[in-house]
């Protein structure tokens, strides 16, 4: 048992914490959800953890389509800048 065992007598309390911060694999997530639904101690622990986790855990700023779009915009600008520098250098020759 881990550090949270003093507060939650359930042997699955570590899985509940891992579920709260979304670090479990898909199969483990389903098992944790099933357990939490049937265990009042783990439900209470999850309810207590959610506000704290929400303050510290957020989606990575580079995740999703917005990141890809931003990267392609920067690549485009870098390509344009490289082209302008090349053009400027060639005009001096």
pLDDT tens digits for range 23-32: 888 889 999 9
* Residue 71 burial (CB count, 10 A): 11
Question: Is the pLDDT score of 1 beyond 50?
Answer: no
Q: Give the pLDDT of residue 52.
A: 82
pLDDT tens digits for range 9-53: 899 989 999 998 888 888 899 999 999 999 999 999 999 888 888
Query: Nearest Cα to 12, choosing from 49, 50, 47, 38?
Result: 38
Confidence of residue 91 (pLDDT cuts 50, 70, 90): confident
Q: Give the pLDDT of residue 85.
A: 84
* pTM for the predicted model, two decimal places: 0.53
Q: What is the Cα–Cα distance from 84 to 90, expressed in whole angstroms?
A: 10
């Amino acid at each position: 048992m881990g550090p949270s065992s003093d507060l939650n007598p359930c042997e699955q309390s570590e899985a509940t914490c891992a579920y709260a911060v979304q670090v479990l694999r898909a199969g483990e997530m389903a098992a944790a959800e099933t357990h939490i639904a049937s265990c009042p101690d783990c439900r209470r622990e999850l309810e207590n953890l959610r506000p704290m986790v929400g303050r510290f855990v957020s989606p990575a700023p580079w995740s999703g389509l917005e990141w890809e779009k931003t990267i392609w915009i920067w690549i485009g600008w870098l390509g344009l800048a490289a082209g302008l520098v090349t053009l400027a250098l060639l005009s001096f020759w």
